[in-house]
Structure 1
Amino acid sequence: MDKKLNCVIIDDEKHAVELLADYIEAIPNLQLLKYFTDPLQALMEISEEDNIDIVFMDMDMPGISGLDLSVAIRAKTKYLIITTGHSKYAYEAFGVQANEYLLKPISMSKFALMIKRLMSLENTSKTIVPADDFFFIKTDQIQKYTKINIKDIITIEGLNNYVKIHTNTETHVAYLTMKELECKLQDINNFVRVQRSFIVAVNYIQKVEGNTIVLSNKMEIPLGTTYKKQFLMFLAEKTMKSNRSISE
């Protein structure tokens, strides 16, 4: 790959910034665009015009946490890499659509292997997922498979070791986990986790009433506490607002 990937480091510890900067300099396909030791400064200054490919994000920072900052800037970078000294953030990292999770102390070999995985993803993810993309699920009958068109999925409901896939025509039960389906759909921007037991397709959301999401098939999904902040930020981004004053 000829084009170098632009990298941004956000970490309040200067020695951690210097270490990652040295690693980036050692990899031919990477270049350091800028770094921040103040997360609030990063929030204010990072923009889509920066053409950022990779953000290396620390979690424990003053002023604003790496988790909240990740939610705010996720759309402004192609890849998000969580760098932290605490394994407890692994679940939250998945919630903010992090591509990788590096546990400190970060060795050069660990860093290089992670970049190699990203390079592979970079080379294979340049095609847009077609609207009629699909997958098959096994049914409870031997040698019988059912085709699921991704564009038809309204919501996915977790039921212990099974899931219900609600589409705009019918409901299917599959011996799959929520995590397996979330991984399958993670590259498709149309899907968002709204609670532990539900993933919804945003284009099928009809309205939101308080903490209840109403879908086009009339299902009402309660918004989970863990996913509330992320969903409300998405809702705020998609809400039309008037620039007129009330007096007008």
Structure 2
Amino acid sequence: MLLSAPLTCLVVDDNEMNRLNLEHLIELTPQLELVASFANGLDCLNFFTQGGQADILFLDIEMPQLTGLDLVRILPVPPPDIVLVTSHRDYAVDAFDLSVSDYVVKPVELPRFLQAVQRVVKGRQAAPAATKPQASLAASATENEFLFVKVNKKLVQVRLDDILYIEALSDYCVLVLDKQKLIVYSTLRRIEERLPSPRFVRVHRSYIINMRRIEAVEDHIVQFAKVEVPVGKSYQEGFQRQLKEF
């Protein structure tokens, strides 16, 4: 990791031993600098609302009054890079919906901790501060090559290049890939926020397409192999502009 200055860090965990362990791991990592450590989410929220700043937030999930997931959803914009730390794997789906930088299961040991830090560094290199996404879901808007989605209560990794288009289906979405279709429990809007733009474009209230996979455009129809996707009237002007600029 080549950094011009250490990344500033916060630790939030209501368990003192876990909190001290994270503080120790930060101390062992020259690229990191601990700014503050909190025993609850409310104190952390107050830190940010009073103008405090940090590059990375190492955050426990299960805490009284304000859980880690709730804290992520209400952090001031722009939020820090977030590494969720928990004793349970059951929160993985919620974590990926929030597009945090990493999800680490306790007890946290140095090799796994350094891996999480490396992911944060790579994400920052891919998305400079001037253009860093400002929504909690938007960490996936960097040019990652895959997306995790929830299929039948299981997280499935999907290569972005394999996606032809995504279709809304009530509270679900259908990811149409080269060789299969995946039914995902998510709204189209939530999926859209996790996809890199202008690579993926909304062309209809019910469709998002992969611009790299378009084979032809005729009238108001986008063609992918033998499949056709309509372009909604209100999306036509923006889509034509995206075609010229892509």
TM-score normalised by the chain length of structure 1: 0.55
Tell me the amino acid that sits aligned with residue 168 of structure 2.
E
- SS of 2:55's partner is strand
What residue ranges of structure 2 are gaps of 5+ in the alignment? 133-141, 144-160, 199-205, 209-231, 235-246
The answer for the alignment partner of 1:63 in structure 2 is 65
Q: Judge conservation of contact 1:10–1:17 (CA < 8 Å) in 2.
A: yes
Cα distance per residue 1:49-71 (max 9 Å; x no partner): 32321111111111111111111
What residue ranges of structure 1 are gaps of 5+ in the alignment? 135-144, 165-172, 191-197, 201-215, 219-248
Name the Cα RMSD after superposition.
4.2
Q: Judge conservation of contact 2:8–2:35 (CA < 8 Å) in 1.
A: yes
The answer for the alignment partner of 1:163 in structure 2 is 175
- 1:163 Cα deviation from its structure 2 partner: 3.2
Q: Judge conservation of contact 1:162–1:175 (CA < 8 Å) in 2.
A: no
Residue 22 in 1 paired to residue 24 in 2? Answer: yes
The 5 Å alignment of 1:1-248 reads 1-47=3-49, 49-73=51-75, 75-126=77-128, 128=131, 156-157=167-168, 162-163=174-175, 177=182, 186=194
Mapped to 1, the partners of 2:131 and 2:46 lie a distance apart of 31
Percent identity between matched residues is 21
Q: Judge conservation of contact 2:168–2:207 (CA < 8 Å) in 1.
A: yes
- 1:217 Cα deviation from its structure 2 partner: 6.6
Cα distance per residue 1:207-230 (max 9 Å; x no partner): xxxxxxxxx979xxxxxxxxxxxx
Consecutive aligned runs of 4 or more in structure 1 exceeding 3 Å deviation: 158-164, 173-179, 181-185, 187-190
Tell me the amino acid that sits aligned with residue 118 of structure 1.
V
Count of aligned residue pairs for this structure pair: 169
- 1:176 Cα deviation from its structure 2 partner: 5.9
Tell me the amino acid that sits aligned with residue 39 of structure 2.
T
Mapped to 1, the partners of 2:233 and 2:179 lie a distance apart of 20
Higher normalized contact order (CA 8 Å, seq sep 6+, divided by chain length) = 2
Cα distance per residue 1:88-120 (max 9 Å; x no partner): 000111122211000001111110122122222
Tell me the amino acid that sits aligned with residue 75 of structure 2.
I
